[in-house]
């Protein structure tokens, strides 16, 4: 807890650029205690924007499953490492993506721009495990180079991944994947410098629940000190 009396006595309060008293003694939430049932909406409302992994996996019958996850990010480059977190269904059974990656040991992260947003959201609906969301949405797929799981052809970028490990912490399931191949739409990358063209590549991001997203077209540059 913040000692309000001590804060008021601080010599910094009131100085230009210093935090105000209201900022320092705002609402405090106990996400492991009294406010545990609000942990999800609070965290996903604060930690924004989040990148979206539209993950394709293979069912044992060969059907392609596609599902979006915003508990996702890149966590390293040596080796290239991504993590996404497929949860459980309401009945406590693992979602299709979680079952498929555990069995096959592979997946593809397809990045999402605004042209794919509506199909991506629709693919989050619960369907029987043997139904293909790519077929349901009429999404063409393209073969991967290093794994059997195909990628979504229209995605601006796709990351072919092999599972490194799966970690379970409480009801959270983290899938760690090593990126073996990256596919990028030609106009989104400088072929000489091998840098992503930020003015062209404009993925959408996930915001607060239930239905908020953002665009990434409004950028600014702020050079780091050297």
Residue pLDDT, tens place only, 168-216: 999 999 999 999 999 999 999 999 999 999 999 999 999 999 999 999 9
pLDDT value of position 184: 98
pLDDT value of position 2: 47
Alpha carbons within 13 angstroms on the beta-carbon side of residue 64 total 26
pLDDT value of position 48: 98
The domain over range 49-213 is classified in CATH as 2.30.110.10? yes
pLDDT value of position 25: 65
* Domains of the chain, residue spans: 49-213
pLDDT value of position 1: 46
CA distance 163 to 179: 9
pLDDT value of position 179: 98
CA distance 181 to 164: 15
C-alpha distance across the termini of the chain, in Å:
38
Report the predicted TM-score, pTM, of the whole model to 2 decimal places.
0.89
pLDDT value of position 12: 55
Q: What is the pLDDT along the chain (226 residues), one digit of tens a residue?
A: 445 444 444 555 556 666 665 566 689 999 999 999 999 999 999 999 999 999 999 999 999 999 999 999 999 999 999 999 998 888 888 999 999 999 999 999 999 999 999 999 999 998 898 899 999 999 999 999 999 999 999 999 999 999 999 999 999 999 999 999 999 999 999 999 999 999 999 999 999 999 999 999 999 999 999 9
């Amino acid at each position: 807890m913040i000692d309000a009396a001590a804060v008021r006595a601080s010599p910094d309060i009131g100085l230009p650029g210093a935090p105000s008293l209201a900022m320092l003694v705002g609402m405090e939430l106990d996400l492991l205690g009294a406010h545990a049932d609000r942990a999800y909406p609070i965290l996903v409302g604060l930690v924004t924007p989040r990148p979206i992994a539209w993950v394709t996996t293979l069912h044992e019958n060969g059907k392609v499953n596609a599902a979006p996850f915003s508990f996702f990010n890149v966590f390293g480059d040596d080796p290239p490492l991504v993590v996404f977190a497929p949860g459980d269904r309401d009945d406590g059974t693992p979602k299709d993506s979680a079952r498929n990656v555990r069995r096959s040991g592979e997946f593809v992260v397809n990045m999402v721009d605004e042209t794919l947003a509506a199909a991506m959201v629709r693919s989050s609906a619960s369907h029987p495990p043997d139904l293909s969301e790519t077929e349901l949405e009429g999404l063409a797929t393209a073969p991967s180079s290093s794994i059997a799981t195909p990628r979504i052809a229209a995605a601006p970028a796709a990351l072919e991944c092999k599972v490194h490990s799966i970690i379970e912490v409480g009801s959270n399931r983290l899938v760690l994947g090593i990126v073996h191949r990256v596919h990028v739409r030609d106009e989104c990358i400088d072929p000489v410098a091998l840098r992503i063209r930020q003015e062209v590549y404009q993925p959408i991001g996930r915001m607060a629940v239930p239905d908020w997203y953002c665009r990434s077209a409004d950028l600014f540059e702020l050079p780091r000190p050297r």
